[in-house]
Amino acid sequence: MSEIKLYNGDAFEVLKNLDSKSVNMIFADPPYNLSGKNYLTCKTGKLVKCDKGSWDHIDDINEFNKSWIDQCVRVLKDDGTIWISGTLHNHPSVGMILKQLNLWIINDIIWFKPNASPLLMHKANRFVPSTELIWFAAKSKKYYFDYQMAKQLGNGKQMRNLWIIPAERHKTLHPTEKPERLLERIILTGSKEGDTVLDPFMGSGTTGVVAKRFNRNFIGIEIDEKYFEIAKERINGTKEETDLTDCFSNSNLLHLDL
């Protein structure tokens, strides 16, 4: 049975209290710092100020990223991997810090959303944003990666770093919820049953749901109490798979990237 530990608190403060070299894999979807008067978004067809929450208002994005990534590297086992999702707004900062901390960058994964929302007409002066980027890194060149699992998920072909996964209707109210299909690939290739997966920005709990389903232990941290409760309910309601063969017959999981 998976061991689940959930913390409602600040990621940096909770991470400081975790044991060094105690987790096998980390997935992080940190704040992109897109909230505030200078950022706009669309809700129900109307242009409004983007305000995802107080957790997305950051004065110094580089210092913020350095603090939590440094702690993640400390708690990561020597053969573990860290996966960090982002966009052009924070991706360069994360990449620079990974280099400064002497991590080995394995891949930069491009998540392409073929059904991404079109631009509003007043912003039709650029290409439609349709991708997110994921840094995949390790402490050294000796790290765990399930190559055969990646081939199995790719219908027998080598999986490329371009992942074509449509955006999905959110299961919860969280504004940056990731689809379970994305985390299935990451967790199945980056860890094995019985490993411990950490998500320092748990949000609505997608990482924990997938980790528990595939018999991994999970540590989740979320600063927002409302989203923490949503995540806790989702994870507690998730059943562990006793036969993963059934999962691989699911066409949603097996999706070939061309």
Listing DSSP states for 4-37 in one string gives EEEEES-HHHHHHTSPTT-EEEEEE-------EE
Is residue 37 predicted with pLDDT exceeding 90? no
What type of residue sits at position 171? Answer: K
- Centre a 10 Å sphere on the Cβ of residue 18 and count the other Cβ atoms it contains: 19
Q: What is the pLDDT of residue 51?
A: 52
At a CB cut-off of 8 Å and minimum separation 6, what does 250 contact? none
Q: What is the pLDDT of residue 251?
A: 44
Question: Which of the residue ranges 42-46, 110-114, 193-197, 223-227 would you say has the lowest mean pLDDT?
Answer: 42-46
**Between residues 103 and 129, the one the model is more confident about:** 103
Do residues 36 and 20 touch, judged by C-beta distance below 8 A? no
pLDDT band per the 50, 70, 90 thresholds, residue 88: confident
State the Cα–Cα distance between residues 150 and 160, nearest whole angstrom.
Answer: 9
Is residue 36 predicted with pLDDT exceeding 60? no
For 182-200, the pLDDT digits (tens) are 999 999 999 999 999 999 9
pLDDT band per the 50, 70, 90 thresholds, residue 256: very low
Q: What is the pLDDT of residue 55?
A: 45
Q: What phi, psi does 214 have (nearest 5°)?
A: -100, 25
**Between residues 249 and 59, the one the model is more confident about:** 59
Question: Which of the residue ranges 21-25, 151-155, 236-240, 253-257 would you say has the lowest mean pLDDT?
Answer: 253-257
Q: What is the pLDDT of residue 243?
A: 73
Rounded to two decimals, the pTM is 0.88
Is residue 46 predicted with pLDDT exceeding 70? no
Is residue 255 predicted with pLDDT exceeding 70? no
What are the b/e assignments for 214-253, b being 16+ CB within 10 Å?
Answer: bbbbbbbbbbbeebbebbbebbeebeeeeeeeeeeeeeeb
Q: What is the pLDDT of residue 250?
A: 54
The angle that helices 180-190 and 206-213 make with each other, rounded to 10 degrees, is 50
For the chain, give the number of residues.
Answer: 258
In this structure, the strands spanning 104-112 and 131-138 are antiparallel
Question: Can you read off the two tokens belonging to residue 114?
Answer: 């073929």
What type of residue sits at position 219? Answer: I
What type of residue sits at position 20? Answer: S
Q: What is the mean pLDDT of the chain?
A: 88
Question: Can you read off the two tokens belonging to residue 137?
Answer: 């890194």
Q: Which domains does the chain have, with CATH numbers?
A: 4-248 (3.40.50.150)
From its phi and psi, is residue 205 left (phi > 0), alpha (psi between -120 and 50) or beta?
left
Is residue 48 predicted with pLDDT exceeding 70? no
The winner for highest mean pLDDT among 25-39, 170-184, 239-253 is 170-184
Question: Can you read off the two tokens belonging to residue 30?
Answer: 């940190």
Terminal-residue alpha carbon distance, the chain: 37
